[in-house]
Chain A
Amino acid sequence: MQRTLRVTSYIAIALVVFFVLMAFLVNLTPLSENTWLRVFFSVSALNFTLRASVPLILGALCGILCERTGIINIGIEGMMLAGAFAAFVAKTSTNHWPLMPSLLFGVAIALLVGGLMGLLHAIFSIRYRMDQIISGTVLIILAGGVSAYLFDRNAVAQGKFGAVAIPGLSQIPVLGEVLFTNPPLTYTALILVVVIHIGLFYTRWGLRSRACGEHPRAADTVGVNVNRFRYMNTVLGGMLAGLAGGFLVLEAVGQFQEGMTAGRGFISLAAMIFGNWMPFGAMGAALLFGYTQALQNELLLAGVTTVPRQFVSMIPYVVTIVAVSGFVGRVRPPAAEGKVYETEGESE
């Protein structure tokens, strides 16, 4: 276990170094005249990768929070869509406010509604012992239905988050352009990866959360309120998924479309599994998946027609199947996932 982990992180670090080197070479030297190299390593490809990855990172973090405490969450897609719609409604109804407060209000409402979706999932799966996978399915259908039913197709959201260059760092060639000239929610997502990693593995809250997901009986025995942790973390997770939806509306697209999450919730799920339920692993997987989307885009822009774009888009899904099939090291889910926890002697 430990060994595979170390090997995986070496590979990841090597990949990162390779990409940074290539990015420098391709974007600063005449190598940029080669179409293929440009497709793979241009600043626009890397920028697109990061942009496409942000909702996946947030979605995967949502999954990690829920599943580490033992609640399976395949409803990320629904939570994200609800967050996106909430952000859109909040933004359109405050169009007359100054831009920044209106956008921040949108973010707040996206967090709130995402959290409520998380609460609903927790109530379904803990209080009413619904199968957690079905509860997730309910959330997806519900969010799709409610957002389509209430969507006012004439409403237009005015304005979205713009890029904020970090002074100094953004002057670094290539890297500055890719990493340090981004809109605020992108920075937030990257910071959250670090925060949640530290939270899960270096704080009391994290230890207790993980105990609830691995061995709830043991956690209960030492006085941890298992279901309270499960409620809390599912709500927190829902907020992150809501933020991912908010990102789509307030930062990436600027508007809402029906079903605009378009499977990102499911890809987040895949990123979480591929990343072995670890925040940094999930971020790596999300970047990889974002990269395949960027490739598809760049190939189209560069006029490369030899590879059908549908097959490029398939890569993340096929990679995920391979990953869960255990060809790439074994991923290991939290042990007590999906099981309702009852304290001894308790019955309905």
Chain B
Amino acid sequence: MSLSTLRRIGYMVLIPTLAVFSALLLGAIVMWIFGDDPLAAYRGLWTGAFGSPRAWSTTIRKMTPLILTGLSVAVAFKAGLFNIGASGQFLIGSVCSVAVGVNFEGLPAFVHLPLALLAGVAGGVAWGFIPGVLKVFTGAHEVIVTIMLNYVASLFAAWTVYAGGTQGQTPGPLWDRTAGAISRTPEVFMSARLPWIVPEPYRIHWGVAIALLMALIMWWIIFKTTLGFSTRTVGANSKAARYAGINVRWITILTMMIAGGLAGMAGAIETLGLNHRFAPEFTGGVGFQGITVALLGQTNPIGVVLAAFLLGALEAGAARMQFDSGVAADIIQVIQALVLAFVAAPLIIRQIYRIRKPSDQIEATVVSTGWGR
């Protein structure tokens, strides 16, 4: 490895690290201003995330879907697309996997489980295909379309499990008939569940292995294949890509489909591995967090895993923090917003810590500009 490569990696690690550090510091100041004890809060946070085997397992559990939604957003960024729709794709993935999981009783697990997973991925792919194809053929901006599809997805998901209400509306097709007035699906059959790696009380399922594997695969695709090269070229300069003979339209659609598939997989894994059913209160919040994960991980799949680990730890420790120190767990959301702000504007970090911009140009995370094409 040459010196300049090392320096580049150093810079790529330095900014996110300082961003997280600054966000935690600013979060502490906020807590202090409003009369909370930041030290006690962070001690509780640490205990809740890493203090015991149980805590570690929670962190890993929370990290799993974040890896996949983070990858989803990151892959789209590579092609210059902003996938703000990971939460909708996540929900559709959950619902599709449940639809397979609660039907087909008696299928052997080695057929049923992959089928349910694939259904989730397919749902996500379809939900990513729509904004991709609309962008390419009509110029509709993917940010608007994916935001709107998030709402459509959440209403659709709510409908599938709808209990019917008090005035005798028709219940949704996936509603659990034994649940009375509660809107939810039945539990998926054992044959469609992801097995535990570490069983109760730790409850770590094979989803985490799948997520890590996907990160490796995405890293390989992005950096070692022609497809990945084309994608990055489109993201860096779509005009140049077109002159180089790359099919920009196809790459755009395909990238959105891959992004959707990854988020859909996150939904399927959460459902088949952990919740075993779907209910309207399962939101696609992890899809939104995927944006923070992707940017904190500098849109690099390996970075995404690290970022997902960090955000997973924050999520895992939040409950314990509230219990131990009485600081409302919602402060975590504030800290996440600050992390996002600092990684998205490296200029702030560079000014605070007086870091010189490295002389060799580093590809900035170009996201998207304007609603136009």
Contact = CB atoms under 8 A, between A and B. Distances in A.
Nearest to A145: B333
Nearest to A339: B369
B2 interface: no
A314 B152 contact: yes
A325 B341 CA distance: 31
A151 B7 CA distance: 45
B311 to A, nearest CB: 12
Contact of A148 (B152, B328, B347, B348): B328
Contact of B167 (A273, A305, A313, A318): A305
A145 B334 contact: yes
Contacts of A177: none
B169 A337 contact: no
A138, A273, A318, A339: residue with the most chain B Cβ atoms closer than 10 Å? A138
B148 A145 contact: no
A117 B41 CA distance: 27
B138 interface: yes
B42 to A, nearest CB: 15
A133 B143 contact: yes
Contact of B291 (A137, A308, A326): A137
A260 to B, nearest CB: 15
Interface stretch (A6-14, A159-167, A262-270, A280-288): A262-270
A156 interface: no
B144 A148 contact: no
A300 interface: yes
B341 A138 contact: yes
A133 B73 CA distance: 14
Contacts of B338: 142
Interface stretch (B91-99, B153-161, B195-203, B233-241): B153-161
Interface in B292-343: 292, 295, 328, 330-338, 340-341
A202 interface: no
Contacts of A150: 34
A325 to B, nearest CB: 4
Interface string A135-150: 1011001101110111
A133 B367 contact: yes
Contacts of A128: 345, 347-348
Given A129-B347, A321-B148, A141 B336 contact: yes
Interface in A314-344: 314, 317-318, 320-321, 324-327, 333, 335-339
Contacts of A305: 167-170
Contacts of A337: 369-372
A339 B151 CA distance: 28
A84 to B, nearest CB: 16
A145 B169 contact: no
A212 to B, nearest CB: 14
A221 B268 CA distance: 55
B182 interface: no
A224 interface: no
A72 B370 contact: yes
Given A138-B337, A318-B152, A335-B372, A149 B140 contact: no
B147 interface: yes
A325 B140 contact: yes
B331 A321 contact: no
Contacts of A129: 345, 347
B134 A321 contact: yes
Given A72-B371, A130-B341, A325 B347 contact: no
Contacts of A148: 328, 330, 333
Interface in A242-295: 263, 266, 269-270, 273
A33 interface: no
Interface in A295-312: 300, 303, 305, 308-311
A124 B143 CA distance: 19
A333 B330 contact: no
B134 A135 contact: no
Given A134-B367, A339-B369, A324 B145 contact: yes
A64 interface: no
A253 B84 CA distance: 30
Contacts of A314: 151-152, 155-156
A234 to B, nearest CB: 16
B282 interface: no
B149 A321 contact: yes
B144 to A, nearest CB: 5
27 contacts: A124-B345, A128-B348, A130-B341, A133-B84, A133-B367, A135-B341, A137-B340, A138-B341, A141-B340, A146-B334, A149-B330, A149-B333, A266-B151, A300-B167, A308-B159, A308-B169, A310-B159, A314-B151, A314-B152, A314-B156, A317-B149, A324-B141, A325-B140, A327-B138, A335-B372, A338-B371, A339-B370
Given A134-B291, A326-B138, 11 more contacts: A72-B371, A134-B367, A137-B84, A266-B148, A300-B167, A303-B167, A305-B168, A317-B151, A317-B155, A326-B139, A335-B370
The 4 closest A-B pairs by CB, nearest first: A145-B333, A148-B330, A145-B334, A310-B159
